[in-house]
């Protein structure tokens, strides 16, 4: 009845890695470029430390350590996919710094990646940051430019 009194809830999504933001359209993987998993951005990393982009819980840490799913305290589901086709490395070059079930804050280290090893294997380090539960999202404001991990927002999400 008094829905007009309900305040919008916005969530800042911080960069999980230092580097340059790129549009999903530029990601060399159709699953991400066509937004089949969800909308978001990607970052071309400068280093190999992946940190939490939100306050929440690690709900999925793939055995190959190439991807991490986090549910924010507001209920937003964020997937960090470290590199393109890096699942094929079977965890080589990846070190877990957190585990499934961990409560994390913005900037909490999640995974360390040996970027040189990934590149030597012929894989791209472009790291998509995807919002996977679009049904709870009203709108997304995407940032651009160069970002520092855990410091600079890459998206501001308005929840329904």
The C-alpha atoms of residue 27 and residue 35 are separated, in whole angstroms, by: 10
Give the contacts of 53 (CB within 8 A, at least 6 positions apart).
Answer: 13, 14, 15, 16, 70, 78, 80, 106, 129, 150, 154
59 touches 71 (CB < 8 A): yes
Respond yes or no: is residue 66 known to be catalytic.
no
Cβ(107)–Cβ(14) under 8 Å?
A: yes
Residue of 19, 61, 70, 81 marked catalytic? 81
Residue 31 CA to residue 17 CA, distance in Å, equals 21
Retrieve residue 34's tokens: 């066509």
Catalytic (active-site) positions? 81
């Amino acid at each position: 009845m008094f829905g007009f009194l309900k305040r919008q809830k916005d969530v800042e999504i911080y960069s999980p890695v230092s580097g340059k933001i790129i549009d999903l359209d530029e990601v060399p993987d159709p699953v991400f470029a066509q937004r089949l998993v969800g909308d978001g951005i990607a970052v071309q990393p400068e280093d190999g430390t992946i940190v939490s982009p939100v306050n929440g819980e690690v709900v999925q840490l793939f055995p190959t350590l190439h991807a991490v799913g986090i549910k924010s305290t507001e209920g937003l589901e964020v997937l960090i996919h470290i590199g393109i086709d890096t699942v094929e490395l079977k965890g080589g070059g990846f070190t877990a710094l957190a585990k499934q079930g961990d409560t994390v804050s913005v900037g909490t280290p999640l995974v360390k990646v040996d970027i040189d090893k990934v590149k030597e294997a012929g894989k791209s380090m472009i790291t998509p940051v995807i919002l996977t539960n679009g049904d709870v999202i009203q709108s997304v404001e995407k940032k651009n430019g160069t970002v520092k991990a855990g410091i600079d927002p890459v998206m501001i999400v308005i929840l329904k």
